Structure 1
Amino acid sequence: MRILSTFLLSLCLVLTTGYSAPPQGVPRDTGDSTSNRYILIDLWKRQLFLYEGDRVVKQYPVAPGREQHPSPIGEWVITYKSTDWGGGFGTRWLGLNVPWGIYGIHGTNLPHTIGQDASHGCFRMFNEHVEELFSLVNTGTLVIVDGPLPRRDEWALKTLVRGDKGSDVLLVQNRLRASGYYEGPVDGIFGYGLEAAVKRWQRDMNWEVTAQISWREYLELGLVE
C-alpha cells in the first residue's frame, strides 16, 4: 500500500517538481521578481527549490522531519523572518504559518544531517544557504511542501477524530471541501466543523456514522491505494 500525497494548491491538484509551468495559486509574473517567487520543498528528494515564475532560480538540499516528527505537507506562507533565532536553528529563521505547531526553514549547527530526515519537522539548511535564501524572499512568500504522508502502511494509519491535528487532517479537509461537504478552514485541525462534515458524508455513503476517519474513509477519499 502506498500513501498518496496531495499538493494543496487547488483543491485536488497533484503536483511534482517536474512540472513546466507554475500551478494554480502560485505568484504570476508581474514584473517584480521578488513578488513572483515561491518555494517548493520536495520531501522525496530532500530539496528546496526557489521559483521565480515558472523558472527554478535556486536549489538547496534540506533536512526535513524524521518519521516520528514529520514535516507538514501543504501550502504555507512565510510569516516571520529572524536573524537571531539562536541555538541549533543556525543563523536565519523563516517561520511558516502552520496552525498546529512552530515550523520553519532555518540553519543548523549539525550540517552533517543535511540531506537526511533528521529534524523535528522543520527544514534545516546549511547556514550559508539559508542566509542566501533569507535575502531572496519576503514575508508572504508561498511555501509548498510536497511529499508522502507520514504513515505508510495499513496498520500504521491513525484513526482521525475531533481534536487531531496534522497533514493527514488537512488532506481530509481538502477532499471533503472539494466534494462540497466541508466549508471550514483547511488548517489541519479536526474541529467541530470537520466532524459534522464527516458525519454528513458517511450518511450519504450509507455507512455507520462514526465521525471518524479510518481505513475505509482513507480508501474512499483516495488517500491510499
Structure 2
Amino acid sequence: MIEMRRFLVRIVQTILISALILGAVPRPAGADPSLPIVKDNGLVTIEVYPLKHKLVVLLDHLPYRTFSVAVGNPDTPTPVGEYLVIYKGKNWGPSFGSRWIGLNVPWGTYGIHGTNRPYSIGQHASHGCIRMRNRDVEELYEMVPVGTKVTIHGHVLGEANREPRVVAEGDVGAEVQLIQNRLQSAGYFHGECNGKFRFSTTAAIKKFQKENGLVPDGIATLEVYEKLGLIE
C-alpha cells in the first residue's frame, strides 16, 4: 500500500510539472483526447512477452503488475522492439475496448487496448496490437503516462520454429525494416528504413535478386533472406 501511494504521488507530480502536449494524433470521431502527461524518467516501464502472452509493468525497474494479453497472429505479428507511449485515449470503438494506449511504431498504428472479445486473451489473435481485458487496460491506463518506454520481446523474424514471413509490396513490419537496412548497407536501397514495403523497396529487391541469380520478382522470399544473410 505504501509503495502504491508513492507511485501515485510521483504520477501526480509528473502531471503537475508537465507542459508538453503532443502533436495531433489521428483518432476515431468521438474519442476522448490524449492525456497530456509525460513520463518521469525511469518510474514506469512496460515489457511485453508475446510467446508467454504476458505484459509486465515495472515500477523503478521492479515488476509491479503482470497481465495476460492477446498478441498478433503469425501473419500480422506484434512488432518486436522498443517503443514509446505517444497517445492515450478512450472510446475508440467496441473492438478496442474501453482504453487505447498508442505506440510509436513507425510502420503503422499499433497500441495496447481493451477488447470486446475477452476470450481471445492468452492467444495469438490480433492484427498486431496488444489486447487486454477491459478492466486490466483501465488499470494500466491510469498507471502509464505518455512517454513510457514499452519493450516487446522476441526475434524480429518470428519464432525460432517458424520460417520468416515472405513479404512483398504493401506489407509492413519489423522484418521489412530489417530487409531495408540490409539492402541499404549493401548499396541497393536508398530510401527510409521505415518498415513499409513500397515501390522503392521492390525495386531494390529486384536489383538484388538479379545480381544474385534469383528471379527478379521483387518479393522477399526465403532465398532473399538467405542471400542477405538474415537466415541460414
TM-score (norm 1): 0.65
Cα distance, 1:179–1:59 mapped onto 2, change above 3 Å: farther
State yes or no: 1:119 paired with 2:123.
no
Find the aligned partners of 1:177 and 1:51 in 2 and give their Cα distance.
36
Find the aligned partners of 2:195 and 2:95 in 1 and give their Cα distance.
27
The equivalent position to 2:171 in structure 1, one of 125, 144, 164, is 164
Cα distance, 1:171–1:54 mapped onto 2, change above 3 Å: farther
Structure ranking higher on relative contact order (CA contacts 8 Å, 6+ apart) = 1
Are the counterparts in 1 of residues 114 and 132 from structure 2 also a CA contact under 8 Å?
Answer: yes
- Offset, 1:115: 1.2
SS at match of 1:77: strand
State yes or no: 1:34 paired with 2:44.
no
CA displacement 1:34-66 (0-9 Å, x = unmatched) = 322332211111111223454333322111123
Are the counterparts in 1 of residues 39 and 147 from structure 2 also a CA contact under 8 Å?
Answer: no
State yes or no: 1:67 paired with 2:74.
yes
TM-score (norm 2): 0.64
- Offset, 1:169: 0.4
Find the aligned partners of 2:100 and 2:138 in 1 and give their Cα distance.
9
2:193 maps to which residue? 186
The equivalent position to 2:101 in structure 1, one of 94, 104, 119, is 94
Cα distance, 1:177–1:47 mapped onto 2, change above 3 Å: farther
Aligned letter for 2:79?
Answer: P
| Gap runs ≥5 in structure 1 | 1-31
Aligned letter for 1:173?
Answer: Q
- Offset, 1:116: 1.4
User: 5 Å matches for 1:81-160?
Assistant: 81-147=88-154, 149=157, 153=162, 157-158=165-166, 160=167
Are the counterparts in 2 of residues 34 and 137 from structure 1 also a CA contact under 8 Å?
Answer: no
When the two chains are superposed, the root-mean-square deviation of aligned CA atoms in Å is 3.4
Are the counterparts in 1 of residues 39 and 148 from structure 2 also a CA contact under 8 Å?
Answer: no
SS at match of 2:51: coil
User: 5 Å matches for 1:2-21?
Assistant: none
2:25 maps to which residue? none
Cα distance, 1:138–1:185 mapped onto 2, change above 3 Å: farther
- Offset, 1:33: 7.2
Find the aligned partners of 1:191 and 1:197 in 2 and give their Cα distance.
10
CA displacement 1:92-129 (0-9 Å, x = unmatched) = 11122334443211112332321112223221112222
- Offset, 1:130: 1.2
CA displacement 1:119-165 (0-9 Å, x = unmatched) = 232211122221222122222323222335458655x841x444432
1:80 maps to which residue? 87
1:55 maps to which residue? 62
Cα distance, 1:113–1:52 mapped onto 2, change above 3 Å: same
Larger radius of gyration: 2
- May I ask how many residue pairs the two structures share in their alignment? 191
Find the aligned partners of 1:189 and 1:33 in 2 and give their Cα distance.
29
